[in-house]
Structure 1
Amino acid sequence: MDIQNLASRLFLIGSEASRAMSPGLWNPVLEELGGRWSYEAWDVPRGAPMSRVRARLLGSDVVAANVTMPHKQWAARAADTVSEAVRLSGASNLLIRKDGMLAAHNTDVAAVAALLGGRHQRHVVMLGAGGAARAALVALKGLAGRVTVADRDPEAARQLHALAGQLGMDAETATWADAQEQASRASLIVNATPVGKRSEDAPVWGGSRLAGDAFVYDFVYAGHVTGTIAAAREQGLRHADGWDHLRAQAAAMIPLLGLAPQTDALLQRTLAAIQAKG
């Protein structure tokens, strides 16, 4: 079955999907590609009956669905087949319907790997322990010396610590304050939390000086420069922000959805226009 000929709808599923940038990014691109597909936000709150969501995604009009907080781990469990990145991370941000089944992918992993460029990290401080953090850990498989994990939810931190162990990493959990202090000596600081959504938010690690070789990776994208990225720039550090991540993970979707090669250039142009509007 050719899903491109028979189906037409892509979804973004999340508790605050209607506030996300993805429909505004994808719909102009899909229109320029011929207007066969549309991209729609679908707010699915935490605790909603997810069996109904899965049944809807198997409808003949559905191409695929991006999945965001808090449903990435559900998406991995709901799929009939999973990619290696999903198997390792236990999280999926893309479900593709084909032949009456759902295939789970994780383009967050591909995006982190691309933006970090395969560099070895002597010490990673992971602030946040949800689906984004799991993707970052998988992307760092074989590339991280020591990993420190912190989350406001101790159980989430414990689970991410267990994943790091399964990936062969030397990992530890820490309190939020301890992890912030350790960030000053780390080579990679990952913000996998919502800190930065508000323009007044301070850098996720608290604002101390970081090591000169540090890379700051902030998953948050907003209409302002986050405090985390502003501090990284002020210190002259390498960094990737949520916009960089959004572009990289969207680019990773192109071959999975069978889209035309010019899609990448269209995505970059549209994303730049959205950013320019603030």
Structure 2
Amino acid sequence: MENHSPAHRLFLIGSEASAAMSPGLWGPVLEQLGSSWTYEAWDVPAGQDMSGVRASMLESDVVAANVTMPHKQWAAATADTVTEQVRVSGASNLLVRQGRRLSAHNTDITAVAELLGGRHQRHALMLGAGGAARAALVALAGLAERVTVTDKDPRASQQLLDLAANLGMEATAVTWTEAREHAPGASLIVNATPLGKSRADAPAWGPAALSPDAFVYDFVYAGHTTATIAAARAQGLPCADGWDHLRAQAAAMIPVLGLKPETAALLGRALTDIRAGN
């Protein structure tokens, strides 16, 4: 017999979902809203058959799922309907169940666009070429004159170059060493790698001083200020860190999920509390 219980379950799907911040962020916020919704971590290893994940997403008590590494491209491909941002980027970080169909969204792109504020970029340097980098690249469409890409996986770099070409952007792939040589001349540095998770990590671009007009965007959030952000601040440069991104992408979910307007303020306070506890 089909389960007709009200939809109330939200998930985070990722290879290390249980170690992520989102469940600890959304749980208290949903409780303060007086919502019956719950938010659960769902660890799904890379390379796993995803047919069971999709089937579980279609159960009648599921509202939606955030999707993180390495399944953002799967999320875009498995959805029945996609937003224009998902269609262009080929990645989704939010699947919303609509009956027996899944709708794919990408609030990462919304977040990057908000935090970059529509600034023109003469040269964007992308460190990493995964889902986060794809979101940043789409957010930069029409704003960046030139893009330089590096990733340890040449296939990922090529995929990002293909996306840039589709967006009408001039982009080239370089080695990690070459990327660090490009850093001092870039107007935007995007760290879409795990560098910074460890306190021992150096700034993602290395020791070089950056251009006075540079903006540093670091997707990493940690219990400490990453070396990438610390170096940017020491040089007096504007920056956005992983906590800023987490807040902005979560806030972008509010209208998609039909949550109350006060959710944004609750998210901000919850993030402040979590960060203080780290």
Aligned to 2:132: 132
Q: Note the C-alpha offset of 1:35.
A: 3.2
Matches within 5 A, 1:105-184: 105-184=105-184
Unaligned stretches of 5+ residues in structure 2: none
2:201 match: secondary structure: coil
1:272 match: secondary structure: helix
Structure 2 counterpart of 1:105, which letter?
H
Q: Note the C-alpha offset of 1:181.
A: 1.1
Unaligned stretches of 5+ residues in structure 1: none
Aligned to 2:269: 269
* Alpha-carbon displacement from aligned partner over 1:27-58 (angstroms, at most 9, x marks no partner): 00000111310000000000111011011000
1:126 match: secondary structure: strand
CA distance in 2, matches of 1:89, 1:268: 27
CA distance in 1, matches of 2:46, 2:126: 24
Aligned to 1:37: 37
Aligned length: 274
CA distance in 2, matches of 1:13, 1:199: 27
2:123 match: secondary structure: strand
Structure 2 counterpart of 1:73, which letter?
Q
The sequence identity of aligned pairs, in percent, is 71
Structure 1 counterpart of 2:182, which letter?
Q
Q: Note the C-alpha offset of 1:231.
A: 0.5
CA distance in 1, matches of 2:165, 2:194: 25
Structure 1 counterpart of 2:181, which letter?
E
Answer yes or no: is the 8 Å Cα contact 2:58–2:99 preserved in 1: no
Residues 1:223 and 2:227 aligned together = no
Runs of 4 or more above 6 Å deviation: none
CA distance in 1, matches of 2:266, 2:195: 30
Aligned to 1:260: 260
Structure 2 counterpart of 1:275, which letter?
R
Q: Note the C-alpha offset of 1:183.
A: 1.0
Q: Note the C-alpha offset of 1:100.
A: 1.1
2:233 match: secondary structure: helix
Answer yes or no: is the 8 Å Cα contact 2:60–2:99 preserved in 1: no
CA distance in 2, matches of 1:97, 1:197: 33
CA distance in 2, matches of 1:239, 1:181: 20
Q: Note the C-alpha offset of 1:143.
A: 0.3
Q: Note the C-alpha offset of 1:180.
A: 1.2
CA distance in 2, matches of 1:18, 1:208: 36
Aligned to 1:200: 200
Aligned to 1:96: 96
CA distance in 2, matches of 1:41, 1:93: 14
* Alpha-carbon displacement from aligned partner over 1:229-272 (angstroms, at most 9, x marks no partner): 01001111000000000000000000000000000000001100
CA distance in 2, matches of 1:259, 1:25: 15
Aligned to 1:64: 64
Aligned to 1:210: 210
CA distance in 1, matches of 2:59, 2:207: 48
Q: Note the C-alpha offset of 1:177.
A: 0.7
Structure 2 counterpart of 1:109, which letter?
I
